[in-house]
Amino acid sequence: MDYEKIASGADGPMRDDGVELNHTTDYRLNYGDGALTFRQLVFADPVPVGRQILECAGVRDIEQYALIAILPGGAMEDIRLDEPVDLRGRGIERVVAFRTDVLQRAFLLGRDMLWGRPDISGHDLYALANLSEGEALYIDVPGGTDIPVPRDGMVDLAKPGVERFVAGPPHPPAGFDVAVSYNGIVRTVRVTPGETIAALIETVRPQFGNPGGDLVLVDAGSGRVLEPTHTIAQEGVQPGAHLQLRPRTVQGG
């Protein structure tokens, strides 16, 4: 458990007869303020209400906040301001507070999930999911192909419908190899369909000694100059394609 009970004697050590004077018991609870970075709160009352938790955390405009409990199994539930939270029996490990009056609902690995922002980062989703090694998160698409959740991306929770996040084996990286040549030297480079031609130029430039100037990529078969702002897919680059890196030809006027 992330909360713990602490027994202490306010007046010092126990008496010789084994009776402890002014015995008090404190309860600790991990609190996150709208993020998954937690700090401990200490309570003398084992059954504080939601309002007391926020007050202990230093929140002033309490009515503007929503409080969410993260249960030991990973499920999440809303805590009302006047709702008692039994730290002894319910087993709540963590609470997260959001400045909002709207909670987004989803299902994470089959468990109820509540979130106080319209979107959530992949990093936070993975932290909440606590997957075993070798597993990845996906957005469940009934009757279709599940969508991988990138750790460095964002997921929109506010769009119509309730998102369901499921676990599965890691999705293999999308991409393929192409050959890029410069001054007779050829390098094999892995590209992805969404990568821009400009990004590819910057990727391969160091592999040829960082030549300066305005460089372009040319399809070796057709001699066509690829548009830097277009993606690999937009330019129709196929697996095994041969591209040439060369200075841009300046047209005279």
Which pLDDT band, with edges at 50, 70 and 90, does 207 fall under?
Answer: very high
Residue 85 has pLDDT above 70, yes or no: yes
Of 48, 98, 54, nearest to 76 by C-alpha is: 98
More confident residue, 8 or 175: 175
108: left (phi over 0), alpha (psi -120 to 50) or beta: beta
Residue 153 has pLDDT above 50, yes or no: yes
Query: SS3 of 215, please?
Result: strand
At 91 the pLDDT is 64
At 233 the pLDDT is 87
Which pLDDT band, with edges at 50, 70 and 90, does 4 fall under?
Answer: very low
At 90 the pLDDT is 60
User: Which segments of 11-63 are extended strands (E)?
Assistant: 23-33, 38-43
At 248 the pLDDT is 87
Question: CA-to-CA distance for 28 and 57, rounded, in angstroms?
Answer: 12
Q: Which of 90-94, 147-151, 205-209 has the lowest mean pLDDT?
A: 90-94
Of 2, 26, 22, nearest to 11 by C-alpha is: 22
Of 85, 164, 153, nearest to 121 by C-alpha is: 153
At 150 the pLDDT is 87
Average pLDDT (45-56) is 95
Residue 109 has pLDDT above 70, yes or no: yes
162-192 pLDDT, tens digit per residue, is: 999 999 988 766 688 999 999 999 999 999 8
In the chain the domains, ranked by start, together with CATH numbers, are 1-101 (3.10.20.90), 103-172 (3.10.20), 176-247 (3.10.20.90)
Question: CA-to-CA distance for 143 and 107, rounded, in angstroms?
Answer: 18
Two tokens at 116? 């106080």
Residue 141 has pLDDT above 70, yes or no: yes
Which pLDDT band, with edges at 50, 70 and 90, does 72 fall under?
Answer: confident
